Structure 1
Amino acid sequence: MFGRKERADAQALIDALDRSQAVIEFNVDGTIITANRNFLDAVGYSLEEIRGKHHSMFVDASERDTVEYREFWAALGRGELRSAEFRRVAKGGREIWIQASYNPIVDKQGRPFKVVKFATDVTRAKARNLDAAGKLAAINRTQAVIEFELDGTIVTANENFLGALGYSLADIRGQHHRMFVAPDERDGSVYREFWSRLTRGEY
């Protein structure tokens, strides 16, 4: 049995999680029991709108009837924790992204009887990452791009670069940048210093 101090410490931890995390509780069949204010704010619902409903209300229609989704809840029912970044659907069809852990809670016999999810809304960070990925894709479409190891060895290059120089990737991968440099420049101190500066992180 827990003593008074242990119970107080446990309650303080629960209160801290409730303040900092989006928390929702489910029966092992996925039916919603309750949720805290952070979770409700993230999905845009009131507790009355979601209590008694199934978790699938937060899942895209294309995912709800999949084998993977059924196995997700079957695993939780077996007491297996699930933690990842998830795409979810908030009220009105709004897309949100959460970093979440689904934690089965077991009884004295070790049998799961509910699942508690702790989540953080990472929608803004995800949007920034997707924006950055989109910009990189745009650069790759419009620019000639090549990547090197710090010693000048070629790692890869995009089609724009290969087309401009008339090589295939197999022709250049593993070769040194000097293959693109005139012979009278390759062995000069200026060229060696060029790669030394790059190795030091200088432009």
Structure 2
Amino acid sequence: MDNDLSAGDVAAPQDGLSHDLRARPTAQAEFAPDGTFLSACDEFLRLTRYERNEILGRAEAILLWPEDHDDPQHRALWELLRSGEVVQRDLRRMTRDGREIWLQASYDPVLSEEGEVTAIRLIATDVTAKRRQAANHENILAAISRSTAMVEFALDGTIIAANANFASLLGYDVEELLGRNHREFVAAEIVDSPAYGAFWNRLRAGEFVQAEFPRLARSGRTIWLQATYNPVVDTATGRPTKVVKIATDITERMQESAEANRLALLDPLTGISNRRGFDLALGAALEDFRKGVEPISLILLDVDHFKPFNDIYGHQIGDRCLRRVAKAIERSVRRPESLVARYGGEEFAVLLPNTTRHETARVAEAARAAIQHLAIDHPGNADWGTVTASFGHVTFEAGRDERFHTATELVTAADRALYTAKRLGRNHVADAVDPSSKDPYAVFRMLPGEEFFGPEPESAAGRQIRRSATI
């Protein structure tokens, strides 16, 4: 069927034919004003699959598809031609053997000296392959649009088109999105970052961008999109004119991934942080400590004589005991920035950023008392008769302990304080302060090969420090 006629269909005379039409082999034919063929060149006959004697004297309508014979647009075309108008347009036609062809055609009326139309000349180029390619692209885009979210932006980020899938993802109707800007759906801290400006500069330069992006839905919740931003380039100038975004919702997968990452940092037995989670948190806290003025504290604790407890009651009861101890520690700490972790075996760690030495001592004592208050029978802990724990804690003061700036140094100091608590008879809290020093804030010096307390069984922290030193 012919395309709709519009002002753009009426063109200049034949001399104004586009370069595209002239650059390829052309098919020519001539018609009487009533539309019957007067002549046709070999290229025209080749394209339409007719013999010359089959076409001369017959109406141009033999090239129409059956459903187009009564099309008012076709009648309007010939009325324009008989009035002397030049028409350029793409035409859908049917060959003698029933194939579809598309012709990029220019109809040029031939006028007599009196200004009457005596004939109409046609110059046409076969653009069937081009039209089929365009139709294929449209079908692909339609299929993509049915299954994915699509949106088009002007180069300043203004939304100029969107499909229902994209609007639904964000919680809007399509009409509500039009005219709004991309930045409205991006977190403020991202919009204000240099990276956001660079992102749009890349698109305006014609660069394709693909990544996973967090975006803000109407409800305020964050959704995740796996998206491609595709600059659309003007073929004449080579410059981008707009950006097409194709996206799929991966929020559920990202949430599952985040949950998997969270679980990977948890101890499956006690439900508190595991050693990996502790190491990551300690590294981040030390970075903050070095940049700021706040202290950082660490508590290490061991359940006293836990091996005999397992020997007496078995590992299942031992696991239950560790779970109760972990909960007692968590209840005792109750500080927003703190982290309670199972450091290894029956040893636990409490990381306390922005916590002074005296506050840390109070936390440690509260946890010690909470564990003893559980009153879990432990015949193997002869001095106390119930499950108890020994605690060592250390605090690095900003501006005072600049020389102590690694995780190993912090853990070593807390571990040696833990040994002190064990030497005092267990079920004690010890600070990493040198009792012989006149400076109450002086932490133990860590000298190579220094041994403080003889053949005391090595703690998990001590074993880790020793392993780290050999790596």
What TM-score do you get using the length of structure 1 for normalisation?
Answer: 0.81
The gaps in structure 2 that reach 5 residues or longer are: 1-21, 210-471
Quick one: which of 102, 107, 112 aligns to 2:107? 102
The correspondence for 1:81, drawn from 78, 81, 86, is 86
In terms of Rg, which structure is larger?
2
Q: Which has the larger displacement, 155-164 or 172-181? A: 172-181
Structure 1 gaps of 5+ residues are 1-16
Q: Residues 52-101 of structure 1, C-alpha deviation per residue, up to 9 Å, x if partnerless?
A: 11111011222223443333323322322222111111112211100111
Counterpart residue number, 1:6: none
Q: Is the 8 A contact 2:167 2:177 kept in 1?
A: no
Deviation at 1:185, TM superposition (A): 2.7
Q: Which moved more, 1:51-60 or 1:140-149?
A: 140-149
Q: Name the residue aligned to 1:168.
A: 173
Give 2:256's aligned residue. none
Q: Which residues in structure 2 correspond to 1:61-80 (within 5 Å)?
A: 61-80=66-85
Match of 1:23 among 28, 46, 49: 28
Pick from 32, 56, 60 the counterpart of residue 65 of structure 2.
60
CA RMSD of aligned residues (A): 2.1
Residues 125-150 of structure 1: per-residue CA shift (max 9 Å, x gap): 11111111111111111111122222
1:124 has 2:116 as partner: no
SS at match of 2:169: helix
User: Which structure carries more helix by proportion?
Assistant: 1
Residues in 2 aligned to 1:196 and 1:58: alpha-carbon distance in whole angstroms? 50
When residues 51 and 164 of structure 1 are mapped into structure 2, their CA distance, relative to the original with a 3 A threshold, is same
Deviation at 1:34, TM superposition (A): 1.5
Residue identity opposite 1:120 in structure 2? T
Identity %: 39
Q: Give 1:170 deviation, angstroms.
A: 4.0
Q: Report which structure shows greater RCO (CA 8 Å, sep ≥6).
A: 1
The alignment partner of 2:97 has SS state of helix
Q: How many residues align?
A: 186
Q: Deviations over 1:15-53 (max 9, x none)?
A: xx8x94201111111111211100000000110111111
Is the contact made by 2:37 and 2:56 (CA closer than 8 Å) also made in structure 1? yes
TM-score of the pair, normalised by structure 2: 0.37
Separation in 2, partners of 1:152, 1:75: 43
| Residues 1:166 and 1:45: Cα distance change in structure 2 (over 3 Å) | same
User: Which letter does structure 2 place at the counterpart of 1:29?
Assistant: D
